[in-house]
Amino acid sequence: MSRTGPLTKDSTTVALGLAQIRVAASAGYIGQRRAILPASASIGALADTKLGGNIEYFRLESGFPLLEDAIFPLREGSLLECSFKEITPANVALARGLTPADFASVHSGEIPLGTLTTPVSLRVEAIYTYPDGVNTLTIIFPRAQVATTMEMEFQQEDVLAVPIMIESKRADDENSAGNVVWNDAPLGIIIWDDATQTTTTSSSSTTTTTTP
């Protein structure tokens, strides 16, 4: 008897597990179109990772009773949600909208409270490796800010995990902090297995090099 239902077409495309989140200052990497942050830029162990896309539509209706004719996109937003387990000064600074790199020690530092300012602009790369250990999916926000109400809920029999929300912001060259390489993808990109390409951009030209 033939099998029915949604059969797996390619088991190497099934996602299982979490993505690794890497962060750095946006300005130093704004001209890079491909993943470039090192593993050392990871925020460490996570409880969850989630990519979200907020899209609002206008719905055109006509007739009586009203029926929908079409929908038109009004606005779009992209965000990454994750909960970090490693409670370091750098990670708590990240949740507070500060520059994580300013807090190098894992057990020494000071985070001021009651002094919120505009969250810093960050480059964020979420690197997901499929269960086969070979194929990858990478989400890049070239210019992002952390917008979250930080909560640190200590548990009696579970590790603390702090949820944060990383929102992508415009990175095209119409923005003073952007770059021309993002004109066709102002909020970032999702790429599969394209880590061999490194794109660099100067103020006058764009050069693409292939790493052997």
Whether 212 is in a domain gets the answer no
Whether 120 is in a domain gets the answer yes
Domain coverage including residue 47: 16-55+68-207
pLDDT at 207: 40
d(CA 62, CA 128): 44
Alpha-carbon Rg for the chain in angstroms = 20
State whether residue 131 is helix, strand or coil: coil
Whether 1 is in a domain gets the answer no
CB atoms within 10 A of CB 184: 8
Domain count of the chain?
A: 1
Q: Enumerate the β-bridge partners of residue 163.
A: 83
Whether 81 is in a domain gets the answer yes
pLDDT at 198: 42
Whether 125 is in a domain gets the answer yes
d(CA 73, CA 50): 23
Whether 161 is in a domain gets the answer yes
d(CA 162, CA 1): 50
Per-residue pLDDT tens, the chain, 212 aa: give them: 688 999 999 999 999 999 999 999 999 999 999 999 999 999 999 999 999 999 999 999 999 999 999 999 999 999 999 999 999 999 999 999 999 999 999 999 999 999 989 999 999 999 999 999 999 999 999 999 999 888 999 999 999 999 999 999 999 999 999 999 999 999 999 999 744 444 444 333 444 433 33
Query: For tokens 């007739």, what's the residue?
Result: 63
pLDDT at 92: 96
Whether 89 is in a domain gets the answer yes
d(CA 212, CA 196): 7
Our CA dihedral for 84, 114, 112, 162, rounded to 10 degrees, sits at -10
Contact at 8 Å (CB) between 15 and 163?
no
pLDDT at 107: 96
- State the DSSP code for 41: G
Write out the DSSP string of 69-115: EEEEEEEEEEEEEEEE----HHHHHHHTTS-GGG---SS-----SS-
Instruction: Give how far Cα 203 sits from Cα of 167, 174, 200, Å.
Output: 27, 14, 10
Whether 177 is in a domain gets the answer yes
pLDDT at 1: 66
